[in-house]
Structure 1
Amino acid sequence: MRLAIAFCGVCLAFSALAGDPAREQAYADAIQQQPAIGEAIWLQTGEGGRFLALFVDAEKSANEQVVIILHDADGHPDQQPLIRELRTVLPRHRWASLAIQLPLREAGAALEDYYPLVGEADARIQAAIDHAIKIGAKQIAMVGYGIGAAMAAARLSRNPANVVAFAAISLPVPDSSQAGVQTLSFVKNINLPLLDVYAEADWPDVTETAAKRRVAGKENPVYRQIRIDGDDHAYRQNYPLLVKRVYSWLATTIMENQQ
């Protein structure tokens, strides 16, 4: 596997509560020992944090469209089946993919332990956007999954600069007072095209809040919600269908907004 080191500076401050660099490195080592699917690169935040990302060139374009992919809690940028499917299939449909490693907590950490890492994730998202622009991206989209979707929503509600669309997969609405996971407020404030996809048997804080998310997004004329029937949060049954929904929506949304 080719290993290119890219450094992207950012000026954003992030949470003092850091993740688990040792777990991130273990994932990075395992990923780089596997046969190449794309290119492993290292990005860096303005605070000096270095993290792995996996880049796949678009097959039918000059990488002018780049999608940044954010994995779920306790995951990594080549997590199977969904993240790998997204990052390898979207490039067949004109979108180069940049799947990034989000901050992790220790093994066995509860979901709520990830909430304070939103600030650290924000710095990584900025580094990914900077890198996409550096390689010539004219349009940047985001696809987030689970906690990755919540982290993307937090970012885009505050700063949507340089992002043209956001697909949120299994976007949770935690019962928490922590500022970083006020999902309904984030959805209400996002004016970008927003695809809200969830599974029929998803996490309770996804399925039970679907109607609330629709209400939060009602002022956004380009908000759409889709339920994937016959599957749960892992999407092991219908992940090809889910990925098709994402690239079809991106193609339609970008085309309509260019007219």
Structure 2
Amino acid sequence: MKKITLTTCLLILTLQNVWAEGEEETSSTAPAVTQSDVPRVMPTPQQTRIAGLIERLSTNHAHEIETLEADGESFLGLFREAETADPQGCLILLHGDHGHPDWPQVVSPLRETLPRHSWCTLAIEIPDMGGRATPVQVAQTTSEGTSDTDESIANADASTSAELPNEAQVFARIDAAIALTQEKGYNQVAYLGYRSGAAYALRYAAERGTTSQALVLIEPRSTTALSGFQLAQNIERLRLPTLDYYFDRTNVDARFARQRLAAANKRGNQRAPYIQIDALPDARFDPTGNKRLTQRVWGFLKQNTLQSNQRKTLPEFEKSLFYESPLD
């Protein structure tokens, strides 16, 4: 074993001192990097969803893609022409929150199937109400012991103008969709909303006083900004035929359905029918419920809108799908 000489020890100590001085100079001259200086990427879930949808449809269904504009903003629409020689009108479809215009539940089956039954379809993009990718707001306690969050909730409760989030923006998009259908030669329009999209469609028909058309609500859902009871009261103001197609799965669903039916019974004009159907039994015949749903919606539109002379009549054996049995 070799002995470590005194010269070797001194050389090692000298090198250690040089390295230490170099590290001190580097740490003193380098700027301090804080967490706020690190660039952050905010997620945009809706833009990502819509971009993926456009990419998927561009291969075989590029002709369905429409770019509409409302209030200076562009948004996506998916349009399908009626596939018969006797078109009856156009159905505007509003998807639910955090969805898209080709959502696999309800929206896609209806927009693809109804054109075979003389109705064109136009599904439009609805902005997200919020929630996902939204920064968390930390409640700041004031000197009086209350928080900013508590004050905002109190102000919201005190507001007399209960509206849905992005309501004006969605209404402008519906107006733009109607204008597009008229440009394409369809004079009759019906509205269909799914979940929160049904809430927008209901509010639109009530606020605009729409008549001589039709409204379809599929599994309507309220939001935190508008309670179920408040949303149901809009039905009292409706002046057009309405189909309320819901699933009675929970006590909340049953209570909300009773509130909507009570509001419908208080309408001054009872000539426009309000039909409420518990769709839960329909799911027994079809796991997805798409076929029964399509037949319900088609039958409702046929019976409650102005019909031109259709060459294809409803089969006799299917009529039970469109009417509630008086013995039920």
Shift of 1:27: 2.2
Shift of 1:61: 3.6
Counterpart in 1 of 2:240?
192
Say whether the 8 Å CA contact 1:174–1:182 is kept in structure 2.
Answer: no
Letter matched to residue 43 of structure 1: L
Higher strand share goes to which structure?
Answer: 1
SS state at 1:144 partner = strand
Give unmatched runs, 5+ long, in structure 1.
1-19
SS state at 1:208 partner = helix
Instruction: Provide the rounded CA distance (Å) in 1 between the counterparts of 2:175 and 2:232.
Output: 22
Give 1:47-86 correspondences, 5 Å limit: 47-61=71-85, 63=87, 65-86=89-110
Counterpart in 2 of 1:227?
278
Shift of 1:69: 0.3
Match of 1:127 among 162, 176, 183: 176
Instruction: Provide the rounded CA distance (Å) in 2 between the counterparts of 1:252 and 1:21.
Output: 45
SS state at 2:83 partner = coil
Say whether the 8 Å CA contact 1:173–1:205 is kept in structure 2.
Answer: no
Say whether the 8 Å CA contact 1:140–1:162 is kept in structure 2.
Answer: no
Counterpart in 1 of 2:321?
none
Counterpart in 1 of 2:298?
247
Shift of 1:71: 0.5
Counterpart in 2 of 1:27?
49
Instruction: Provide the rounded CA distance (Å) in 2 between the counterparts of 1:21 and 1:156.
Output: 34
Instruction: Provide the rounded CA distance (Å) in 2 between the counterparts of 1:124 and 1:155.
Output: 11
Instruction: Indicate the RMSD between aligned Cα atoms, in angstroms.
Output: 3.1
Counterpart in 2 of 1:209?
256
SS state at 1:116 partner = coil
Say whether the 8 Å CA contact 2:114–2:121 is kept in structure 1.
Answer: yes
Instruction: Provide the rounded CA distance (Å) in 2 between the counterparts of 1:127 and 1:21.
Output: 28
Instruction: Provide the rounded CA distance (Å) in 1 between the counterparts of 2:43 and 2:293.
Output: 31
Shift of 1:81: 2.8
Shift of 1:120: 1.5
Instruction: Provide the rounded CA distance (Å) in 2 between the counterparts of 1:151 and 1:214.
Output: 18
SS state at 1:88 partner = helix
Shift of 1:128: 0.7
When residues 73 and 177 of structure 1 are mapped into structure 2, their CA distance, relative to the original with a 3 A threshold, is: closer
Length-normalised TM-score, structure 1? 0.78
Counterpart in 2 of 1:97?
121
Instruction: Provide the rounded CA distance (Å) in 1 between the counterparts of 2:291 and 2:221.
Output: 22
Letter matched to residue 40 of structure 1: I
Q: Radius of gyration: which is bigger?
A: 2
Say whether the 8 Å CA contact 1:165–1:250 is kept in structure 2.
Answer: yes
Higher helix share goes to which structure?
Answer: 2
Say whether the 8 Å CA contact 2:167–2:200 is kept in structure 1.
Answer: yes
Residues 128-150 of structure 1 deviation map (CA, whole Å, 9 limit, x = unaligned): 11111121111100010110000
Structure with the bigger RCO (C-alpha within 8 Å, sep 6+) is: 1
SS state at 2:247 partner = strand
Give unmatched runs, 5+ long, in structure 2.
1-41, 135-162, 310-328
Instruction: Provide the rounded CA distance (Å) in 1 between the counterparts of 2:82 and 2:220.
Output: 27
Say whether the 8 Å CA contact 2:210–2:239 is kept in structure 1.
Answer: no
Instruction: Provide the rounded CA distance (Å) in 1 between the counterparts of 2:306 and 2:67.
Output: 32
Letter matched to residue 200 of structure 1: D
Instruction: Provide the rounded CA distance (Å) in 2 between the counterparts of 1:22 and 1:162.
Output: 38
